[in-house]
A and B are shown apart, each in its own frame.
Chain A
Amino acid sequence: MNQDFIKLLAAWALFHESADEGWKAAVAQGQKQQPGSMSEGPDAFVHGLAALVDEEKEKLKARLAEDGGDAAAASSGDLAERLDALAFEIRELRGCMESLQATVDGLAARRGD
């Protein structure tokens, strides 16, 4: 079966972590199956598929946990964007400090008058 499709279903399963009992039972049944037994009938197929999806779901969960729970950080494009935003904040802060210095200079000159 197409791996992407399994991944899609895994994502669905992850969003439904608290899925119903029927789903959990199917996963448990599927995990007990021997290799190749998915073709033994509709129930075996569903159980096997559920187990496959669950396995992929666990992998996806681990990957998300490695990324600090934020999938956005995974892409380098997003990372560059964040760095850019951070650099801007730092430059903004420098501007703020310079402005404060100007104000202090003004006040100091007034005190000296």
Chain B
Amino acid sequence: MTEGSRGRQLLLAALKSALKISWQTRFGLMRGHRRRALIAREARLSCERLGPAFIKLGQLASVRPDVFAPETVFELEQLQDRVAAVSADSIRAEIRRELGADPDALFADFEDEAIAAGSVAQVHRAKLRRAYRPVIGPELAAGTPVAIKVLRPGIEALIAADLAVARRWAERLNRWRRLARWRPAALMDEFSGMLGRELDLRNEGRIADRFGQDFADDRFVIVPRVVWRHTTRRVLVSEYVEGWRLSEIGEAERAGIDARTLAAHGAEVFMRQVLVLGYFHADLHPANLFVTPQGQLCFLDFGIVGRTSSAQREAIAQVLIGLVYGDADRALRYSRELGLEVTAEREDTVRREMAGLVKRHLLDPPRADVRSFALGFLSMLADQRITIPAGYGLLVKALVTVEGVSHAIYPDLDLMESARPFATRLIAAQLMGRDRLRRRLPAAGRRALEVLLA
């Protein structure tokens, strides 16, 4: 298909969606949350219909509550990326092309049936023919099962063509004054860059190794180790780890796994990523996580990674403390350090609304409901026309993701209760941190001297 005809096809699909949404929202007369929820649902369905590039763009948008409405962000999180697998012959040819040898020569027992198939890549199982020493942990013996992730043939060209069309649309949208503040073209460039990095599977492998290294001291966490000897831009080979999907957690519990402990620990692992390590698995959903028979959480698919700066981490921790202890004032105060600009005339309203949301969703119910809190809070900011800074949106989204994953493991887990010890420890560590002490020591010393000499 030529770029022109693909462009027309995409335009037609977009027009259909726009008409449908106009009808559903009574031609724009419907306002507020309901309207935004309908638009969000149609956006998700459109992305799924338009193919891999738009599914990926939707996934990237789902981690940007600073740009998109909260309803859109939470809806896009549910994008389905399941497609029919391409033939084994095509995948074998792809491996041959990338690694210079037939899969049967490189691996033992290469399985023609894919174990997972997404719009961008699919995964086959095989065994190592020779032993391999990975970047982390002990040697992988010959015969170790491995997962071979291979980009679908021609996917880069398909995505590049769709992105070119989307870029042209973004440029046109840039000219609309109402939309210009979202900087559609710049956002599109940012997404294209991220997507480009995701299409180089070596990036995913590097992050997996980094993650494995950072959690090497955590016996509840496992990350499949990468076999770099057989990994290139288009093929990623890593250790195959057996386990239960989160949808099969009942089976894991019957096998003696303590789901509650694991769920609480999963929340802590995620908070450690966001608040301590400064990077996090931004595409975390039940399909990218499973539980091993040894009672470990296995993390997969590091395609999208979010990052937090040191200053953001410090402020995020304080906001978290505010939330887990029901201190709305503190949460709001430190929200400002994350760039949330609340004007003087709106301050009372925002503080009152925030305190109400904290009480209603986090403190009063028998089990805290972070998702409802986040949705309510982000909607309130949108209603008050308050710009959501990137770092702030990240925090709210991260908390909701943590809760979603924890509940997939143990539905009755109270995230706020689980987060309390971690957040408290974190704040204590921050207060005792070398940098902070360095900053505060002179003033403390001066005060001590003043008292002494008084």
The chain A residues found within 8 Å of chain B, CB to CB, are 8-9, 11-13, 15-16, 46, 71-72, 88, 91-92, 94-96, 98-99, 101-103, 105-110
B104 to chain A, nearest CB (A): 15
B interface residues, how many (CB within 8 angstroms):
31
Q: Are B230 and A91 within 8 A (Cβ)? A: no
> Which chain A positions have C-beta within 8 A of B434?
71-72
A sample of 20 more A-B contacts (CB under 8 A), given A13-B445, A95-B209, is: A12-B442, A15-B442, A15-B445, A71-B434, A72-B434, A88-B213, A91-B136, A92-B206, A94-B228, A98-B229, A99-B202, A101-B229, A102-B99, A102-B232, A106-B100, A106-B232, A108-B100, A109-B96, A110-B97, A110-B100
Task: Report if B438 contacts A (CB, 8 A).
Answer: yes
Q: In chain B, residues 185-226, which have Cβ atoms closer than 8 Å to a Cβ of chain A?
A: 202, 205-206, 209, 213, 226
Q: Are B441 and A15 within 8 A (Cβ)? A: yes
> Which chain B positions have C-beta within 8 A of A13?
445
Task: Report if B50 contacts A (CB, 8 A).
Answer: no
A79 to chain B, nearest CB (A): 15
Give A16 to B438 CA distance when docked, in angstroms. 12
> Which chain A positions have C-beta within 8 A of B101?
105, 109
Given contacts A92-B206, A99-B202, A107-B100, contact A9 B449 (CB under 8 A): yes
Q: Are B97 and A12 within 8 A (Cβ)? A: no
Give A107 to B100 CA distance when docked, in angstroms. 7
Give A9 to B233 CA distance when docked, in angstroms. 57
Given contacts A12-B441, A99-B202, contact A46 B100 (CB under 8 A): no
Q: Are B445 and A12 within 8 A (Cβ)? A: yes
Given contacts A15-B438, A103-B233, contact A98 B228 (CB under 8 A): yes
> Which chain B positions have C-beta within 8 A of A94?
135, 228
Q: Are B228 and A99 within 8 A (Cβ)? A: yes
Task: Report if B318 contacts A (CB, 8 A).
Answer: no
Chain A: which residue is nearest B453 at the CB level?
A: A46
> Which chain B positions have C-beta within 8 A of A98?
228-229, 231
> Which chain B positions have C-beta within 8 A of A92?
135, 206, 209
B230 touches which one: A9, A46, A102, A107 (CB < 8 A)? A102
Q: Are B135 and A95 within 8 A (Cβ)? A: yes
Task: Report if B98 contacts A (CB, 8 A).
Answer: yes
Q: Are A99 and B100 within 8 A (Cβ)? A: no
> Which chain A positions have C-beta within 8 A of B436?
none
Q: Are A99 and B232 within 8 A (Cβ)? A: yes
Give A110 to B101 CA distance when docked, in angstroms. 10
Chain A: which residue is nearest B230 at the CB level?
A: A102
B446 to chain A, nearest CB (A): 7
Give A99 to B445 CA distance when docked, in angstroms. 54
Greatest chain A CB density within 10 A among B209, B228, B231, B434 is at B228
Task: Report if B88 contacts A (CB, 8 A).
Answer: no
Give A13 to B442 CA distance when docked, in angstroms. 8
Q: In chain B, residues 95-110, which have Cβ atoms closer than 8 Å to a Cβ of chain A?
A: 96-101
Chain A: which residue is nearest B202 at the CB level?
A: A99
Given contacts A99-B202, A109-B101, contact A11 B441 (CB under 8 A): yes
Give A71 to B446 CA distance when docked, in angstroms. 22
